[in-house]
């Protein structure tokens, strides 16, 4: 790796060059010698986290989405008016995500400028690669008075100020922090607000994120308001670009998929959250075959778990449910959607390489030219042994075993851009 934390070479232990390189590396403090049963894995990339919802993770999961937003989530997010509260929560969240091997995160903050900036600063300080959005909710009739932007103009001015400030902050952060244009979802924004954000996306070429066709309610609402799909609306306001990531997308059709491919927009697949709030399973395999970029998201706290390890497993299980189908009457001869399943290795690839492609950043792969973002996994961690007892020791078996069974206790170290940011307590 070079001074900037970029991987220059990857050696196999059998390479003749390995011994020389090993000696060089041992002389520096940026060297990890792996013991038996220890592996490097690429750091995970979480494409969808609501940072302010962290205190609510694991609770309030029994309401439909719009009721959950109005009664649980908006009152919680309104508390981030208090920047001291925001700092306490955000410091704890970033630490928890790093301890689970999550190195890069695409965050929704709240509508508050100061607290959103605090999140970017905390990522910078703790060594996480954070892409952070000040959320825009400027529609006076679609958001509660206690939690929304004061006006459309204020929302746009605050967003621009946020972009400029985070770009400036990012200049001194080796792993990078980035501003993200963040209309919460189409229902929460005015036409003028969406158009203004599209103009900012063009002016600054920064990332864009939102929710898209998450559930039937949102899908129908947008169709009624604009006479077109969520995807078409976002595209027509200039919000779908190479650097856009749309969360969920459970109800997008083939034509929407084409728009994603044409514009280079990626999907943040949030399988745990979708099991609770979406009432539908997104056909990941079909979209991938169509050429849509896809990564994984926890959707804290719509998804109860802060762990992409858990979401990898759920992505596999959801795809199997879609393929096998559910027919409670047993009236159908065929059930489900054929050829929908993905393997655990494919789901792992969504959480790593897929995330890097979605964000258009050189991350998520251990290879020359990529950021040195790694988790050191210990299969023999005390009290968390994943031994194959000498019977199941093939690399593919070890990888599957750890993807299904590893816990944070197996994550020995986490390195971001060549810097150690977490070591098991
Ligand atoms: N749609 C709009 N806001 C939200 C949110 O906070 N979580 C989820 N899952 N969907 C949303
Ligand atoms: Fe979400």
pLDDT in tens, 232-264: 999 999 999 999 999 999 999 999 999 999 999
Write out the residues surrounding ion ligand 2, Cβ under 5 A: 247, 299
Largest Cα–Cα separation, the chain: 69
Residue 393's pLDDT is what?
Answer: 86
Residue 32's pLDDT is what?
Answer: 75
Render pLDDT for 168-181 as a digit per residue (tens, 0 to 9).
Answer: 999 999 999 999 99
* Ligand index nearest the alpha carbon of residue 189: 1
Q: Compare 43 and 338 and report the one with higher pLDDT.
A: 43
User: Could you tell me if the CB of 50 is within 6 A of ligand 1?
Assistant: yes
Claim to verify: residue 260 and residue 377 sit in the same structural domain = no
Residue 387 near residue 401 (C-beta atoms within 8 A): no
pLDDT band at 70 (very low <50, low <70, confident <90, very high): very high
pLDDT band at 28 (very low <50, low <70, confident <90, very high): low
Q: Which residues of 125-148 are buried (b: 16+ CB within 10 A; e: fewer)?
A: ebbbbbbbbbbbbbbeebbeeebb
| Domain end among 331, 359, 387 | 359
Domain count, the chain: 2
Residue 334's pLDDT is what?
Answer: 67
Claim to verify: residue 54 and residue 37 sit in the same structural domain = no
Rounded Cα distance between 80 and 95, Å, is: 19
Task: Report whether pLDDT(336) > 90.
Answer: no
Does 1 reside within a domain? no
Claim to verify: residue 111 and residue 32 sit in the same structural domain = no
Does 303 reside within a domain? yes
Rounded to an integer, the average pLDDT of 259-278 is 97
Q: Give the distance (Å) from ligand 1 centre to CA of residue 12.
A: 44
Render pLDDT for 94-135 as a digit per residue (tens, 0 to 9).
Answer: 999 999 999 999 999 999 999 999 999 999 999 999 999 999
Q: What percent of the chain has pLDDT over 90?
A: 83
Does 366 reside within a domain? no
Query: Which range marks the domain in which residue 16 is found?
Result: 6-41+372-423
Does 381 reside within a domain? yes
Q: Compare 333 and 11 and report the one with higher pLDDT.
A: 11
Rounded to an integer, the average pLDDT of 341-357 is 97
Does 365 reside within a domain? no
Measured by CA distance, the residue closest to atom 8 of ligand 1 is 302
Rounded to an integer, the average pLDDT of 291-314 is 98
H-helix or E-strand spanning residue 40: strand 38-42
Q: Give the distance (Å) from ligand 1 centre to CA of residue 351.
A: 20
pTM of the predicted structure, to 2 decimals: 0.96
Rounded to an integer, the average pLDDT of 273-294 is 94
pLDDT band at 19 (very low <50, low <70, confident <90, very high): low
Q: Compare 336 and 257 and report the one with higher pLDDT.
A: 257
pLDDT band at 35 (very low <50, low <70, confident <90, very high): confident
* Ligand index nearest the alpha carbon of residue 277: 1
User: Could you tell me if the CB of 69 is within 6 A of ligand 1?
Assistant: yes
Claim to verify: residue 323 and residue 399 sit in the same structural domain = no
The mean pLDDT value of the chain amounts to 94
Q: Give the distance (Å) from ligand 1 centre to CA of residue 211.
A: 7
Instruction: Say whether the ipTM exceeds 0.90.
Output: yes
Both tokens assigned to 409? 């206790």
pLDDT band at 21 (very low <50, low <70, confident <90, very high): low
Does 265 reside within a domain? yes
Residue 235's pLDDT is what?
Answer: 98
pLDDT band at 20 (very low <50, low <70, confident <90, very high): confident
Task: Report whether pLDDT(81) > 90.
Answer: yes
Residue 29's pLDDT is what?
Answer: 62
| Domain end among 319, 336, 359 | 359
User: Could you tell me if the CB of 170 is within 6 A of ligand 1?
Assistant: no
Query: Measured between alpha carbons, how far is residue 410 from residues 34, 101, 348, 366 in Å?
Result: 14, 10, 17, 19
Q: State the distance between the two ends of the chain, measured CA to CA, in whole angstroms.
A: 26
Residue 325's pLDDT is what?
Answer: 76
Q: Give the distance (Å) from ligand 2 centre to CA of residue 301.
A: 8
| Domain end among 337, 359, 381 | 359
Rounded to an integer, the average pLDDT of 365-375 is 96
Render pLDDT for 200-234 as a digit per residue (tens, 0 to 9).
Answer: 999 999 999 999 999 988 989 999 999 999 999 99
Q: Give the distance (Å) from ligand 2 centre to CA of residue 41.
A: 27
Rounded to an integer, the average pLDDT of 77-90 is 98
Q: What percent of the chain has pLDDT over 70?
A: 94
Burial class of 154 by CB neighbour count within 10 A (0 to 12, 13 to 18, 19+): middle
Claim to verify: residue 147 and residue 12 sit in the same structural domain = no
């Amino acid at each position: 790796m070079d001074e900037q934390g970029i991987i220059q070479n990857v050696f196999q232990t059998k390479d003749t060059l390995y011994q020389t390189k090993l000696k060089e590396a041992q002389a520096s403090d940026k060297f990890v010698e792996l013991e038996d049963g220890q592996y490097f894995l690429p750091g995970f990339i979480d494409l969808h986290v609501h940072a302010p919802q962290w205190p609510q993770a694991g609770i309030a999961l029994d309401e439909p989405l719009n009721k959950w937003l109005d009664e649980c989530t908006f009152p919680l997010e309104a508390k981030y008016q208090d920047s001291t509260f925001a700092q306490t929560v955000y410091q704890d969240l970033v630490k928890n995500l790093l301890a689970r091997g999550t190195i890069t995160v695409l965050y929704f903050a709240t509508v508050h400028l100061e607290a959103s900036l605090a999140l970017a600063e905390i990522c910078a300080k703790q060594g996480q690669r954070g892409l952070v959005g000040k959320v825009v909710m400027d529609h006076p009739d679609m958001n509660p008075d206690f939690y929304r932007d004061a006006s459309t103009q204020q929302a746009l001015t605050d967003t621009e100020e946020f972009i400029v400030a985070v770009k400036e902050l990012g200049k001194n952060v080796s792993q990078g922090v980035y501003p993200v244009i963040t209309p919460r979802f189409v229902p929460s924004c005015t036409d003028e607000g969406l158009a203004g954000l599209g103009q900012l996306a063009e002016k600054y070429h920064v990332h864009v994120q939102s929710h898209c066709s998450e559930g039937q309610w949102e899908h129908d609402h947008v169709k009624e308001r604009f006479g077109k799909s969520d995807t078409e609306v976002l595209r027509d306001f200039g919000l779908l670009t190479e650097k856009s990531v749309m969360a969920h997308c459970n109800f997008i059709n083939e034509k929407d998929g084409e728009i994603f491919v044409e514009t280079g927009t990626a999907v943040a697949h949030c399988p745990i959250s979708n099991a609770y709030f979406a009432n539908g399973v997104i056909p990941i395999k079909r979209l991938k075959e169509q050429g849509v970029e896809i990564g994984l998201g926890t959707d804290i706290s719509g998804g109860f778990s802060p762990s992409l390890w858990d979401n990898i497993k759920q992505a596999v299980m959801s795809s199997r449910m879609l393929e096998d189908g559910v027919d409670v009457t047993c009236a159908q001869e065929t059930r489900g959607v054929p050829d929908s399943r993905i393997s655990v290795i494919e789901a792992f690839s969504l959480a790593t390489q897929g995330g890097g492609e979605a964000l258009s950043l050189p991350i998520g792969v251990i290879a020359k030219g990529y950021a040195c973002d790694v988790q050191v996994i210990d299969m023999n961690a005390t009290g968390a042994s994943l031994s194959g007892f000498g019977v199941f020791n093939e690399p593919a078996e070890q990888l599957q075993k750890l993807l299904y069974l590893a816990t944070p206790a197996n994550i020995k170290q986490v390195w971001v851009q060549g810097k150690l940011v977490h070591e098991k307590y």
